[in-house]
Amino acid sequence: MPGLGDSPDPLLKVLQRIIRFAVRVLATLMTVLILLGVADVTWMLFEKAMGSSPRFVLSISDILATFGAFLAVLIAIEIFVNIVMYLREDVIHVKIVVATALMAIARKVIILDFSETNADFVWATAGVILATSIAYWLVDKAEDVPGGQRPQPGPASQMSPQMHVEPPTVAPAGKPGATENG
């Protein structure tokens, strides 16, 4: 929460410290969850490969279940990255959050069993994918400005140095139409 740490109000400073501590706890828990997820994927892959007859041959449903577990771990890693970036910069990066949402939707589509899913759910999922993709595109376009930096908000009376335009100077005597600026 930008600016709260700079507040002269002691209550807001204490609340900000509590929130930062809570975010650190979430980062720690997310690390534990990632490690458990990796262990689960490893166990699932071992169990599917060794338990089937013939060995090391996976069915399509086994492969899809394994992909789903892999993607769940990758989504947890992306959420961890969001938490770490928040701890470092005290800002939630919308682009990363939307990318994580796209990955979660992709996971759902990959593990979706179309033989047991009705058309309304498929259309709704397609709508969510389209809306999230458009959101990602818009966020990406908003960050894509010359110089790679977003313009800083401020009063309209303040102009950044890049936007400052020097007025033309008066033409020197004897050269009509010429200016000192060229």
Closest CA to 100 of 123, 131, 76: 76
Per-residue pLDDT of the chain (182 residues; tens, 9 = 90+): 455 556 788 899 899 899 989 999 999 999 999 999 999 999 988 888 887 667 777 888 888 888 889 999 999 998 998 888 888 887 778 888 899 999 899 888 888 888 888 999 999 999 999 999 999 999 999 887 665 555 554 444 444 444 444 444 555 555 555 554 54
Cut 0.75: pTM above it: no
- Range of the structural domain that residue 76 is part of: 10-145
In a domain, 141, yes or no: yes
Total tally of structural domains belonging to the chain: 1
In a domain, 177, yes or no: no
In a domain, 173, yes or no: no
